[in-house]
A and B are shown apart, each in its own frame.
Chain A
């Protein structure tokens, strides 16, 4: 649970605009959001921060190695959501297996995402 500071959310996406929009929308709700396009950068930054409350991982454009990053997040005990470009049983299974809280299919509905983020962060 966050203290006086804002909850911190990381957005990992190859598409910078996706991250920018998340920064805006989540920022309006009072979260601090940082965007990354490289998993390694994101993981190393998370070690620099006191606490990362949630990671939104948009897997579009990444290869199989993305799942390795999930293991890193598990070790650091950071909850994450997998955002997939399409409904695919394989992706869903893999995501859940890797420890994702949920596997969501884009495009997301803003309201629903905000509710989900809120419930996960307040946990």
Chain B
């Protein structure tokens, strides 16, 4: 969308995405949030971006003295060189001069000098970017609500008429709501800070579209990072709709060829039955074709997974060394769903990974911070399949045997294909069966087959037609054999 070439970049990549390119110039934007939500950080990025582009930028600090602002900025990794400051914060003289005057209201007296200072500075520098932090100080310079509104509006108008794009902050509380400010600006950006993490969202943006919803945000030693909520693309990317083979002929038979690109497959089954192994099998075959795959493991360690696979003849180490496989162990509670989605998106876009496995969906749900991870999983899965990626979701069910349960957390609607693995008992041994429950783009074998995982790899046997009741976990032979 290159009609945004006139928009001003915020200096934060994820933020520019949410703003569909950046800020519409010569407008004013309100940054709202409780103390500590990151407003000043965003202002700093905004100004620094201007400095990078050789623009004149101005920071009007009304709460803290300039020295402190600069120190805080350094602590956040910013270099304030090139930023002009206008210090309107209360100075120590104010405290020392304890004798108050009462001849005129302080609002009147202070405002006069404040306005003069501001006008002078603006005429002198002619900035294209201005950050006012916080603008709520103006309240104390107005004799009443009406005056405050009038003064603030004309102040903002003055700045934008002179060619500046203005970001200003407000600190609000129950005692001091900022509803009036919300009417005065061209855009409103809300910042929130929960125990699970930080959010940023836009509630108003005149003159432009924007990405709805709340997006994840982080304050790092290198500044503010924003992770927009992933939205599946409206149109599919171009890709060949072909079926990829598992490399195990009988498995391909069950699936009538394999699984298709651009689909999401759930591999479901109880603990230890071989779900992850099955997924990696597809990746082994893909590596042989020169295609890269990624596994995001939430529960198992990288080492453990590698060792397991090596012991059953899947050469995972060499796949990793040749760049055909990446095993990523996701630290619990490290990421928000948006951040994780950005990680995956980068992997898919930059490294051309063709198969992505999430092991497991419950691990995903537990490990990522925030609420409602399932809808995020949905977006992520859709994003990937629309890009032509084959998505494998490993879903663990709790029951080792017994009635068939496919998914625990209600995600079966996500899947184009569902493959399930079950234990069953035969001849006093615990055996494994595999079957296909659903396949969107092709037909599939309706029967069950026994699957064995040996040191030579995955073996899928002939269909189990001579016994029934496998799905109950207690199969019986047709010809009334021993139970």
Contacts and interface: CB of A to CB of B under 8 A. Distances in A.
B94 interface: no
B103 A109 contact: no
Contacts of B97: 17
A36 to B, nearest CB: 14
B437 interface: no
B102 interface: yes
A18 B97 CA distance: 13
Interface range on chain A (Cβ under 8 Å from partner):
10 to 19
A4 interface: no
Contact of B99 (A17, A58, A108): A17
A35 to B, nearest CB: 11
A95 to B, nearest CB: 17
Contacts of A16: 99
B103 A22 contact: yes
B103 A13 contact: yes
Interface string B97-111: 101111111001100
Contact of A110 (B99, B100, B102, B108): B108
A30 interface: no
Contacts of B108: 107, 109-110
A29 B97 CA distance: 25
A116 interface: no
A21 B99 contact: no
Contacts of B99: 15-17
B102 A85 contact: yes
Interface string B411-454: 00000000000000000000000000000000000000000000
A83 interface: yes
B151 to A, nearest CB: 15
Nearest to B98: A17
B156 to A, nearest CB: 24
A9 to B, nearest CB: 13
Contacts of A46: none
A109 B111 CA distance: 13
A106 interface: yes
Contacts of B104: 21, 25, 106-110, 113
Nearest to A11: B103
Contacts of B103: 13, 15, 18, 21-22, 58, 83, 106-108
12 contacts: A15-B102, A15-B103, A17-B97, A17-B100, A17-B101, A18-B103, A25-B104, A60-B102, A106-B104, A107-B104, A107-B108, A108-B104
Closest 6 pairs between A and B when the two form their complex, measured CB to CB: A17-B101, A18-B103, A107-B105, A18-B101, A107-B104, A17-B99
Interface of A: 13, 15-18, 20-22, 25, 58, 60, 83, 85, 106-110, 113
